[in-house]
Structure formats: C-alpha cells, structure tokens
Amino acid sequence: MSEGNCAKIHEATVAGLTFSSDFDSGNASCIDYSAESNSYNIWIASDCEGTQYENQFKTWFHFSVKGFTTDQKVTFCIRSGDDRTNELKWSYCYKYPVGCVVYFAMCYPLGYGEMQLYLAELESVCSKPTKVNQQLPSLSGISLLPTDTHQLHLGQDALLSRELLARSICGRRIDIITVFSSAKGEHPAKCEQSATADLTKPVVLLTARVHPGETPGQFALLGALNFALSDDPRAVALRHNYDIKFIPMINPDGVYMGNYRTNSQGVNLNRQVNLSQPAHQIIVTDVILNPGQSTKQWVGAVVSLAKGYAEKGLLKLYADMHGHANKTGCFLFGNALKTPFHSAWNRAFARLMNINSPYFDLDKYVNEEYILEIGDTKEEGEVDSGIDRSKTKEGCGRVAIYKITGLTHSYTLECNYARPGNTKSIPPPTDPTGMTSLLNNGCLSNKTALAGGFEPHHWAQ
C-alpha cells in the first residue's frame, strides 16, 4: 500500500519536546524553537508534500507532543507559509501526568483507522439477536472526544448492512452502509440488504469526507447514521419508508495522509464530474496519473450508484456533508430549480431540518446556488432578490447529482468548524397529545446560544 506523503515527522525532539505526525491523519513537516519567546513553530505540510502531486492546499494540522514537565507553559505557532498574517498562535499549559502524549489538531480529528473500528463496532451491535435497550456506540469512543451527552439506543427493527463499494488508489476501503427495517417477526439473518440489490423502497443517499480536513461533516454523517439506527420514533418511520445509504469516507487516502482537500494524487475529488456534456452523456473526469489508477474508480462508483437509483425512480434525497470555515452555524446549499413548485419543495426539507435539529440555522443560511451555464460571469457572492448566487462549484456532488438525475432534493450540508449561529431548544419528538408544538414561523421556541462552540455531538444532531 503506497502512502504517498513523505513530509510526516516520525519523531523530532526540539528543545526538550518530541513532536510526531507519523500517524493516521497526522500533518506536520517541520519544527523550530524560539528561546526568546519560548515558542515552537510548527510548519504544516501541503497536500501530498514531498511527492510529485504536491499542491497548494494547506490548512489541516494534526500532530502529537510528548516530554512535557508538570505545569510547563509553551506557545505553539502554526505556520502554513512565509506570510506571518496567516499564523495561528496559542499558549498551552501542561496539566496531565508526566509522560502523556498530547495531540493537537485544527478540529476534532477522525482518521481512517478510527472509522473502520467504529463501523465494525456498529456491525457488532446491530448483529446481536437481542436489541432491547442496546445502546449505540458513542462518538466519545473514537478520536479521543469529549463526553458524548447525545446517547441513542438501537431500534428493535433496525438492521445494518456494510459493503465494499470500491477501493482507493492506496487500497483502502470505501464502505457503503445501508440502514433498513426488518420485516415484522423476521430474523435479521434473513433480511440481508445490498447496495446494488433490486430495491423497492425509496433511497436516501448521504456522503462525507470527500475533503479530508472537513471533519465536522464526518461527525454530522455519523450522527445521521446513529439516528437512522435508533429507536427514536422519527427514525422508525424513516426506516419503514426508506432505505438509507451512507458512504462515510469517500477519500480515505487523503484522510490518512493528513491532507486538507485532495486525494493521494493531489486531485480534488469534489470537482471530478464533467458537466459540459448532455445529461445522458455526463461521465466522471478520468484523471489517470499512474497506470491502472484512476479517480474514476471511486468517484464514478458514487455517481453511478446515485444514477442507478434515480433511473429506477428510487433516489429521493442526496446530501454531501462538509466543514465550513467562513460562515457560522450549520446550513444547506441547494440548487436553483426551474419552477417555483420545485424550489418551494426544495426549501421544505430545510424547514424540516430546522424543526428537528437544535443547531441547524434556517434564518441566515438556507441559500440556493444557481446552476450557472458555461460562460456565466456572475461573481462569487453576488446576491439577486435575496438568493445567494455564488458562482457554481462545477463538478461538485450536489450539482453533479442534480444535473445527472434532476433530483429536487440534492444538497450540500455545511457545518462550521467552531462557531454556531442561532440555536434553539428542541422538545421531544411528540408531546403527551402526540403533537409537536410549533410557532407560526415553523421554528421551535426557546432559542439559546451555544457558548462553548461546536463539539462532535452537536454536529451529530
């Protein structure tokens, strides 16, 4: 298995501290120390640094430090280039027992190996013959996360199927998970489901981690996966009416290498669909950089899967989940559709998300990006009649799925790395009368602010 990144630090001891980034999703290429300011400069690697595919993307960082003494105080400075205006600097005081290894990252990390362990644990839980009061794995069990207060229990009818959709260039698994409902009284062993089987129920398709450094989208997808398996009455209804498909990690090589935006060959996989062709001729751009290795192998697998469901009239919703560095909160990008009816129907899903998630921000961030034709000169950020007409990201999943299938509900879910927008309190799914009380504007009452910033269990909701 070729790993591709030559820039990771195995172990480097500088001024008494030992640094490393030689692990899953690690990214640091050089360390230096200033005795005058008692500060360590950590130079982060570009995507694919040290290979022929090195490119300009460098934002994600993840490294470990050991060798601290009790109450030792230092300053870390993340350097991504020669321009000091882009520095990220913070002071740190060591408060753990001597000998511990401390990890630092741009955002809560989740590596390829951790994802594989988590999916294996889900498989194990869902395969148990007795499901009464069976707790689903907590997000706090992976990636050294804080305590997860959002605990869910497995639904008695819930079943899970895990399959290999494709393999990456470096041979890593690209899994597809199907969540569905067993027939009443039927043993789980007789209820096998396949991603490619002849389906009868409508399909919801959710994907994440096409950009390796956008971990908030990863936790949002895992939250959706756990919810779909849970005994929540909304999840039960969802399973009874839909087969829910998850592709948790589209770009496992980029994740493992510690890249921010690209795969092991420096390719942004979210721009690999050629939309200049008529809809029936659209194919995935075939970027072949080494013999027998092509982005088409796995990006094409996702697009072909969605197209196959759509041709059978089964695909009802697609959402690709990302992290966002600029706009606050969690919000959707949708496509501008051809009729007011379809546009209203498109926005209706966003309102449902607003009703059911305490961290989804409808008021400020439900914007539709127009599908701009080739040659359109609209500038990014131009606003027309209150609708964000940001220049279309040609070839991204949301646009590609819409162009290929005509799917009304094709979205990008964006989750800010740290800063929430407006939040609100969500009551239980039903009150004692069986009804949920709404205000006239469709939002639930008791809006509050999330003071401490986002954590994984917030994105998961």
Higher pLDDT, 396 or 406: 406
CB atoms within 10 A of CB 123: 13
**Do 12-105 and 112-376+391-416 come out as alike in CATH topology?**
no
Q: Structure pTM?
A: 0.84
For residue 351, the 8-state DSSP code is H
What pLDDT, on a 0 to 100 scale, did the predictor assign at position 276? 46
- Spans of all domains in the chain: 12-105, 112-376+391-416
**pLDDT above 90 covers what percent of the chain?**
50
User: Where is average pLDDT lowest: 172-176, 274-278, 371-375, 393-397?
Assistant: 371-375
Place of tokens 């994984």: 456
What pLDDT, on a 0 to 100 scale, did the predictor assign at position 435? 45
The secondary structure of 251-294 as a DSSP string is: -HHHHHHT-SS--TTS--GGG-B-TTS-GGG--B---EEETTEE
Report the b/e string of 210-243 with b at 16+ CB within 10 A: bbbbbbbbbbbbbbbbbbbbbbbeebbebbeebb
Longest C-alpha distance within the chain, in Å? Answer: 72
Residue 291 pLDDT class (50, 70, 90 cuts): very low
What pLDDT, on a 0 to 100 scale, did the predictor assign at position 446? 33
The catalytic residue among 214, 368, 414, 455 is 414
Distance CA 107, CA 412 (A): 20
CA 291 to chain centre: 30
Distance CA 211, CA 250 (A): 8
Higher pLDDT, 30 or 189: 30
Mean pLDDT of 445-460: 66
Please give the backbone phi and psi of residue 141, each rounded to the nearest 5 degrees, phi first.
-85, -5
Higher pLDDT, 402 or 7: 402
Higher pLDDT, 188 or 220: 220
Higher pLDDT, 371 or 146: 146
Whether 311 is a known active-site residue: answer: no
Distance CA 456, CA 110 (A): 10
pLDDT tens digit sequence for 99-143 = 999 999 999 999 999 999 999 999 999 988 776 778 888 775 554
What kind of architecture, by CATH, is found in domain 12-105?
Sandwich (2.60)
What kind of architecture, by CATH, is found in domain 112-376+391-416?
3-Layer(aba) Sandwich (3.40)
Q: Is 431's pLDDT higher than 70?
A: no
Mean pLDDT of 380-393: 37
